[in-house]
Amino acid sequence: MKTVFKRPDSLKNVQTHFCPGCHHGSVHRLVAEALDEHKIRSETIGVASVGCSVFLYGYFDVDVIESPHGRAPAVATGAKRARPDRIVFTYQGDGDLAAIGMSEIIHAANRGEDFTVIFVNNTTYGMTGGQMAPTTLPGQKTSTSPYGRDVKNDGAPFKMAELLAQLEGVAFTARVAVNNPKNVLQAKKMISTAFRYQVEKKGFSFIEVLASCPTNWGMQPLAANQRVSDEMIPYFPLGIYRNTANL
Amino acid sequence: MSVNETGKVFIKGNEAVAMAALEAGCKCYFGYPITPQSDIPEYLSRELVKRGGVFIQAESEIGAINMLLGASATGVRAMTSSSGPGISLKQEGISYMAGAELPGVIVDIMRAGPGLGGIDASQADYFQATRGGGHGGYRIIVLAPASVQEMYDLTMLAFDLSDQYRIPALVLADSAIGQMKESIVLNARKQISLPDKSWAVRGRAGDDQQNVVKSLYLGDGEMEAFHWKMHARYQTLSDYECRWEEVMTTDAKLIVTAFGSTSRIAKTAITMAREEGLKVGLMRPISLFPFPKKAYAQLSDHCKYFLDIELSTGQMIDDVRLSVARDAEVFFYGRPPGAGSLPTPEELLEQIKKFYQTVISHQGD
């Protein structure tokens, strides 16, 4: 009998702590599928960040280093430079990567560090209870922007996939979503490409995943999926922003 | 740099640190420019890379310490260095390393502070170094060289102790020792047996065990158990790894105590005092954590008067007072750091004579 669907070997057979409707589970699965596809599980080192993604080691069956908040690209730099024959990825949220960790991500990307960054953008700080993030949309209400994000006060949301695409050291940046089957298939392809570039030692690869956070958005999972299409994708368009294969 | 006929080289303290790192098998160095330690990254940017190692000038001290964390987590020997303001930035990473039981060597060439302070020699970061420095309650190994030779020897020792105990190790010097040139012997790395790094994160190839380097403990009792485990390890350090130097303490009526650069000046001053017939000795702690408490306690069995000298308003004096017998008295002479505050031997001799008079008046001749 042909197996048409199974748990990726790179994922552990455990329940996650993620809330109902949260997209982290889907993103975890896509990353695990990429590790399986390229047969790199046994040589992979994951770098967990601070936030809902901190339990990476509980779900991925790979070696993991836990990083201080925002510092995952620096930790990954140290690990990859020390062990250049290993596959290294960071998995970071928007507060982690685009606020407290902006310096680390920009500089790692600019050095062209040969690792992969999975950036989960759900426009809020999930773990701490839904505060305003650097990617919170204009007008979006959060627990620390109760009147809606005011661009005059808080600045405009960072578009990280576009921003990093300006840097010469970057091999690949793309923005994807996982809120419907079509987008999931596209995300799978992009995440696989990012890891393939690392296997081929092409340099820094970056995937921004637009994700839902139904709990902190105060939405049902299906409504949250819809918000990704209705509000997030118009502001954060999907697509490839830099691909050295095309340069 | 050339080796002279006696087998010695004439180098700066900071260069000795960098050369010791190479000899110790340091594979990765991550740093950021700051005076007065920049000779260390400058040297390693040339020499470490030649030997196939990794040198990165990081975007910040925060970047550098986290690169050290990442490299060290994979099991290689790695180092960073900085001075006051940069060491403050590194405290976050040092706390995470302590929490994850990661080895790693940090070199602190102290300068005056707080804030931007100045670039003159200082010992005012004693508390920051010996009390952990970052959040959460932990200790790191702290070694305090007083010569260029010790910059070399103690840097190598820092790598060994850090690997052995899985605790970050700090080499605590200052601009006087870092910038001073002396002739030293480049001792070969000691071949000692160290525990293997089976905990290291290298990918699962080989052992197929999942290794996780982390400092998050959420389960009932896990964090508490971690603290007691580390407390016991700190106690083991205290039992076996205290290092100090005593000079003419056997018959001393007054024991001067100082570490690092200050102890050098104090050593000259007590020699001058001896020439004038004063029974004065020197107790110099080399390991500041673990602090050689028992050695102080034993000294205070026969000598009841100590004179603590520091380039601060008094920090190590707390440890000295906690270590000596309850009936011992600890005097203090401090020169807070800054331009012109490094005392001369004559100045310390004057202080020694003053306090010696007090001792004689209490005790008789």
**pLDDT of chain A, 247 residues: tens digit per residue:** 888 889 999 999 999 999 999 999 999 999 999 999 999 999 999 999 999 999 999 999 999 999 999 999 999 999 999 999 999 999 999 999 999 999 999 999 999 999 999 999 999 999 999 999 999 999 999 999 999 999 999 999 999 999 999 999 999 999 999 999 999 999 999 999 999 999 999 999 999 999 999 999 999 999 999 999 999 999 999 999 999 987 6
Q: Any chain A CB within 8 A of the CB of B186?
A: no
List chain B residues with CB under 8 Å of A80.
70
List own/partner pairs for A139-147 with CB under 8 A and 24 or more apart.
Answer: A142/A216
> A6: which 2 tokens?
């199974």
Cβ neighbors of A211 (< 8 A, separation 6 or more) are A22, A23, A24, A27, A120, A121, A122, A177, A178, A228
Contact between A57 and B210 using a beta-carbon 8 Å cutoff = yes
- Tokens 């004179």 found at: B307
**Residues B244-291: pLDDT tens digits?**
999 999 999 999 999 999 999 999 999 999 999 999 999 999 999 999
Calpha distance B355→B314 (Å, rounded):
17
Contacts of A45 in chain B (CB under 8 A): 74, 201-203
pLDDT on residue B1: 64
Write the residue in A42, A74, A79 that is nearest to B74 by C-beta. A79
Q: How far is residue B206 from each of residues A56, A133, B76, measured CA to CA in Å? A: 21, 41, 17
Given a contact cutoff of 8 angstroms between Cβ atoms, the answer to whether B98 and B140 are in contact is: yes
**Which chain B residues have a beta carbon less than 8 Å from that of A86?**
74, 202-203
CATH dotted code for B8-196+229-239: 3.40.50.970
Give yes or no for B62 touching A (CB within 8 A). yes
- pLDDT band for position B7 (50/70/90)? confident
In chain B, ranges of CATH 3.40.50.970 domains: 8-196+229-239
Q: Is A103 on the interface with B (CB under 8 A)?
A: yes
Q: What's the pLDDT tens digit per position in B321-357?
A: 999 999 999 999 999 999 999 999 999 999 999 999 9
Task: Report yes or no: B248 at the A interface, CB cutoff 8 Å.
Answer: no
Phi/psi-derived region of residue B328, left when phi > 0, alpha when psi is between -120 and 50, beta in every other case: beta
Structure tokens at A151: 């661009």
Look at A104 and B66 and tell me if their CB atoms are within 8 Å. yes
SS3 A36: helix
**Selected residue with higher pLDDT from B54 and B204:** B54
Q: Does residue B312 register a pLDDT over 80?
A: yes
Exposure of A206 in the CB half-sphere (CA atoms within 13 A)? 34
Which of A56, A138, A131, A61 minimizes the C-alpha distance to A92?
A: A56
Q: Where are the beta strands (DSSP E) in chain A?
A: 44-48, 63-66, 87-93, 116-121, 124-125, 131-132, 170-177, 204-210, 239-243
B162 pLDDT band (50/70/90 cuts)? very high
* B71 contacts chain A (CB < 8 A): yes
Q: Phi/psi at B253 (nearest 5 deg)?
A: -95, -20
Residue B5, pLDDT score: 75
Pick from B62, B93, B204: which is nearest to A62 by CB?
B204
Q: Which of A63, A71, A87 sits opposite B201 (nearest CB)?
A: A63
pLDDT given for residue B206 in this prediction? 62
> What's the pLDDT score for residue A245?
84
Triad A55, A74, A232: Cα angle to 5°:
60
What is the C-alpha separation between A77 and A81, in angstroms, rounded?
A: 6
Is the pLDDT at B364 greater than 90, yes or no? Answer: no
Contact present, B261 and B174 (Cβ < 8 Å): yes
Element (H, E) at B81: strand B78-82
Cβ–Cβ of A45/B27 closer than 8 Å? no
A81: which chain B residues are within 8 Å (Cβ-Cβ)?
28, 54, 56, 67, 71
Q: What is the crossing angle of helices B84-99 and B61-73, to 10°?
A: 30
Looking up tokens 């290993």 gives: A86
d(CA B289, CA B286): 9
Say yes or no to pLDDT of B204 above 90: no
In CATH terms, the fold of domain B245-363 is Rossmann fold (3.40.50)
Rounded to 5 degrees, what are φ and ψ at B317? -55, -30
Supply the DSSP symbol for B220: T
Q: How confident is the model at residue B365 (pLDDT cuts 50, 70, 90)?
A: low
Q: What's the confidence (pLDDT) of residue B32?
A: 97
Tell me if chain A has a CB within 8 Å of the CB of B74.
yes
> Which residues of chain B does A47 touch, with a Cβ-Cβ cutoff of 8 Å?
70
Element (H, E) at B254: strand B254-257
Cβ contact (<8 Å) for A57 and B214? yes
Q: Which two tokens stand for residue B22?
A: 């190479």
Phi, psi (degrees; rounded to nearest 5) at A43: -110, 10
Question: Angle at CA A151, nearest 5°, toward A149 and A154?
Answer: 75
Q: What is the pLDDT of residue B65?
A: 98
CATH 3.40.50.920 domain span(s) along chain B: 245-363
Domains of chain A from N-terminus onward: 24-246 (3.40.50.970)
Q: Which of B299, B174, B102, B31 is nearest to A65 (CA)?
A: B102
What is the DSSP code string of A90-131? EEEEHHIIIIITHHHHHHHHHTT-S-EEEEEE-SEETTTTSE
Is the confidence at residue B2, as pLDDT, over 80? no
